[in-house]
Amino acid sequence: MTARAELGIVQAPQIDSALAEPGLSFDDAFRRFAPYVARVGMRILGHGDELDDLVQDVFLAAHRGLWRLRDAGAMKGWLATVTVRLARRRLRARKVRAFFGLGNPVETERAVDTRAAPDECALLASIYRILEGVPTERRIAWVLHRIEGEPLEQVARMCGCSLATAKRRIAATQETIQAAVSHA
């Protein structure tokens, strides 16, 4: 498996129309979309320590705000936006804890699939180490576009910013990663 595939830069599975079925229960929606929420959360956070809590928080927020969703077919995008918002809070809290020496260091090696080749594992772990130092908003935009494979317009919507801002964030993060990898 290549580092590109391991980073998830391949096309993500499509489940957009899964909730368009009339009468789909919240439990069914959870079973159908929890893996997607977990995947996006894992890629943004970089490891799974907080993943179960994140998925539960996303669906708790979804349960509270489900009545506002006008188009059942928009469930995936809405859940992705909620996931990004809550993952952003977790990343910021992680940085605050680290600043005050209260957090545990992030084990970037745990973010990498161990089935990858050793050199790919090392590269991916180093990319996640670099991402730990990248500002939260830039990290999220880059992960959504470069790892999750979301189109720029979707990244901008999920991040709550303009298309130009999303592009700048992604480009700046890409430059940071390339500079760090080339100096390693």
**Tens digit of each residue's pLDDT, the chain (184 residues):** 444 444 333 333 333 333 444 556 778 889 999 999 999 999 899 877 889 999 999 999 988 876 666 666 678 888 999 999 999 999 999 888 887 877 665 655 555 556 778 888 788 888 888 999 999 999 999 999 998 999 999 999 999 999 999 999 999 999 999 999 888 6
Query: How many domains are there within the chain?
Result: 1
SS3 state of residue 175:
helix
Q: What is the pTM (predicted TM-score) of this model? A: 0.77
Which domain covers residue 72, as residue numbers? 3-183
DSSP string, 38-100: HHHHHHHHSSSTTHHHHHHHHHHHHHHHGGG---GGGHHHHHHHHHHHHHHHHHHHHHHHHHT
Phi-psi region of 113 (alpha: psi -120 to 50; beta: other; left: phi over 0): beta
